[in-house]
Amino acid sequence: MSGMSAAEQATALWTLVRKEYHRILRIWVQTLVPPAITMTLYFIIFGNLIGSRIGEMGGFSYMQYIAPGLIMMSVITNSYGNVVSSFFGAKFGRHIEEMLVSPMPDWLIIAGHVAGGVMRGLCVGALVTIVALFFTDLDVKHPLITVSVVLLTAIVFSLGGFLNAVFAKKFDDISIVPTFILTPLTYLGGVFYSISLLPDFWERVSMANPILYMVNAFRYGILGVSDIGLGKAYLIIITFVVALFWFALVLMKRGTGIRD
């Protein structure tokens, strides 16, 4: 007998995805409701109240302009948050051992959690899109770009959440990265404004922010406008997917943070 067959691996992966799915639904009050409420407030305050005074941005009403950004923002935080809390929770409650003793290869454990993060990210993204449609129209200009960018971004941040969980030793550690890195980068990543409004220097600084590329590529998919080149955006996103996945694999193999 050798390792798991492809069919067995598919079963194992499906088991992980199913488990994540049930976890998301079981604690829906924590996983699905808060982002919907927050984003509704954003739409009311920034889109409706303040946005009406801002006027147009990139040739669209402010509400339309920020809608893709806000959808993307919720996808990012929820993909990340799902994996970091699920995987760290498993570490903390020790039931990660259920996976570690099993013959599931490392890539499969990572893939299962990433799939869970993507699932939550896309669910919340869809919820926020529905909320957005109460406030404005959204005609998707380039469906393929929209879907691929949101999917790849969800994968990037699910992997990020996974890495965070691997390194985390206590509960504080799973909120440090979101608070001090993720949120600032997202707010400064062109969710609320076009970087062409910034002074030259800050515009160039902003170009170093990977989230900028994701938000703009997604906005291009929906509205057809973007601050940056699409090719470069894909290149950056895919590089992140590959690099983070590889890093996660290395850490799993070494047992960093999960095996004494």
Q: Which residues are at the interface with other proteins (CB under 8 A)?
A: 1-5, 7-9, 11-12, 14-16, 18-19, 22, 26, 90, 93-95, 97-105, 255, 259-260
The nearer residue to other proteins, 93 or 231, going by C-beta atoms, is: 93
* Smallest distance from other proteins to CB 241, Å: 25
In one letter, which amino acid is 218? F
What DSSP character marks residue 197? Answer: G
* Smallest distance from other proteins to CB 94, Å: 4
Q: What is the dihedral of CA 75, 79, 84, 89, to 10 degrees?
A: 110
Provide the H-helix boundaries in the chain: 6-26, 28-31, 33-42, 51-54, 62-92, 96-101, 106-135, 143-167, 173-177, 183-186, 200-206, 210-223, 230-254
The nearer residue to other proteins, 174 or 177, going by C-beta atoms, is: 174
* Smallest distance from other proteins to CB 98, Å: 6
* Smallest distance from other proteins to CB 177, Å: 23
First CA to last CA distance, the chain: 29
* Smallest distance from other proteins to CB 18, Å: 8
Q: d(Cα 173, Cα 73) in Å, to the nearest integer? A: 21
The nearer residue to other proteins, 17 or 177, going by C-beta atoms, is: 17
The nearer residue to other proteins, 11 or 179, going by C-beta atoms, is: 11
Q: d(Cα 237, Cα 173) in Å, to the nearest integer? A: 25
What DSSP character marks residue 60? Answer: E
The nearer residue to other proteins, 32 or 126, going by C-beta atoms, is: 32
